[in-house]
Structure 1
Amino acid sequence: MTALKESETFRELAAYSGKFEKVDTVIDSERAVKEARLTLQQQKVIELRWVLGYTQHEVGEILQLSQPTVLQHEQYAKKKVQKVLEEWGIS
């Protein structure tokens, strides 16, 4: 996934700067997304929306989905990730 490549770069930059708490945040976020067991479509939507910063409309065009469908995938993914974070005691 593109997000993983970018997070590797982010980890390296954060480590160089000595801001290791940012590295931990990236690692925890990746673990939470992985443990949330998102569908492939949800993963694509999350990567495009949360990591790469595309709008829902742009994501729809890229994935050939309607904007309401993109919104639905994003909402389901968010709920799954939130559930994992709550299980970890993070809310």
Structure 2
Amino acid sequence: MGLSGGAAHAASPDGPFGAMSCSGCHATARGVDTAIPRLNGRPAAEIAAAMRDFQKGERAPTVMGRIAKGYTDPEIDALAAWFAAQRDAP
């Protein structure tokens, strides 16, 4: 997945597998107006739970359901921890 114009900043290239793809939809800078939530600084447990809910079809069907199914539990945990530790881009 490439960057979209609305995302505004890419995730750090040193993030875990898949992190760069997330910034294609999830903005990393405050002030970017999008209905898709930012991930930076969110609690890791919240991010991981959302990913697993998407995997199980327990959230409204979006592209995230298909994306989440491609990740293992350890990959989800790594992504969640990494995004929780990130701060907003300037």
TM-score (norm 2): 0.31
Higher relative contact order (CA 8 A, sep 6+): 2
User: Max radius of gyration: which structure?
Assistant: 1
